[in-house]
Structure 1
Amino acid sequence: MNDHSPVMELVHVLRAVTVEFDLLGAEFAAHHGLHPTDVRALIHLLDAAREDIPATPGWLGRQMRLNSAGTTALVDRLERLQLVRRTKDTVDRRRVLLEVEEKATELGWSFFGPVIAEVVAVAEGFDTGELETVRSFLTAVLHSTQQARAT
């Protein structure tokens, strides 16, 4: 495929955005004494809360592709930093749930808030049809990358 075709140019822009978000995440992690894995775990936990998914240590381990010992070390570290807490599931008391502490949310907003505000401002310049096209494209890209990782 021609490297300058409109489709390849879109691929290159998407890659550049991905790299920039990754660099922002690394900056955030370094600024707060975290490992990039900690940041990814917090993102997974925030997404789970937003989607009403019960986030157990086992669930987080699967999302992160970590074994049980690695997941325990990760959760212990996040709990020690007061970014995550373990709670008993009110439905199944044998199950432990992971919840993001307000401190983590505040740190995230203080760092990423301006970027999110800029993204929102850009998106507000698009009409509903354009936003649906962008959402549809990004969702399809997300699914294809998730499938590639699964194999």
Structure 2
Amino acid sequence: MAAVTEERPEGPAMELVHLLRAVTVEFDLLGAEFAARHGLHPTDLRALIHLLDAARAGETVTPGRLGAALRLNSAGTTGLVDRLERLGLVARTRDDRDRRRVLLTVDEKAVGLGWSFFGPLIGALVGTADDFDASELATVRRYLTAALAAAAAARESTD
């Protein structure tokens, strides 16, 4: 059987890919440690992050939207939300405009737990960003936004 050879990129752009992967692995390890300390499943943490990001963007999240974002079926989503609600980390509320609709929000307890664990890292990252000028930050933002879009497209192509 002949060996398959591929053209593999090298150079500064590939160094960025490797650094981004290393940061992702470190964040994943920190997330796993946070989840383990608080009796959470990694999917629980992803759900909390999704809900926090949605709240920051002014978006409402229903169990259906959360399940779709995490690629969970209805039963898995119900189990996840039940677990987070039981732990006092998430609340279900009825939508004021449509009482049939249930909305999910992160409880202040979850925010406090997150800040107590991730706060020092966030502080260090913000402090590091303060060392960059506006142009440099714009470049980093542009690269990370493109990396996020590429990762999302790669995930969608696996469907």
TM-score by length of 1: 0.97
The equivalences for 1:18-97 within 5 A come to: 18-97=24-103
Equivalent residue for 1:116, pick from 111, 116, 122 = 122
2 CA distance for matches of 1:17 and 1:97?
Answer: 32
2 CA distance for matches of 1:142 and 1:133?
Answer: 14
- Unaligned runs of 5+ residues in structure 1 are none
Question: Computing the radius of gyration over CA atoms, which structure comes out larger, 1 or 2?
Answer: 2
- Listed one character per residue, the Cα deviations across residues 26-54 of structure 1 (whole Å, up to 9, x for unaligned) are 00001111111100000000001011111
Equivalent residue for 1:139, pick from 130, 140, 145 = 145
Partner of 2:132: 126
- Unaligned runs of 5+ residues in structure 2 are 1-7
- Percent of counterpart pairs with the same letter? 68
1 CA distance for matches of 2:97 and 2:131?
Answer: 44
2 CA distance for matches of 1:85 and 1:74?
Answer: 12
Question: Could you say what the CA RMSD is over the residues aligned between the two structures, in angstroms?
Answer: 0.8
TM-score by length of 2: 0.93
- Listed one character per residue, the Cα deviations across residues 105-141 of structure 1 (whole Å, up to 9, x for unaligned) are 0000000000000000000000000000000100011
* Count of residue pairs the alignment pairs up: 150
1 CA distance for matches of 2:119 and 2:64?
Answer: 30
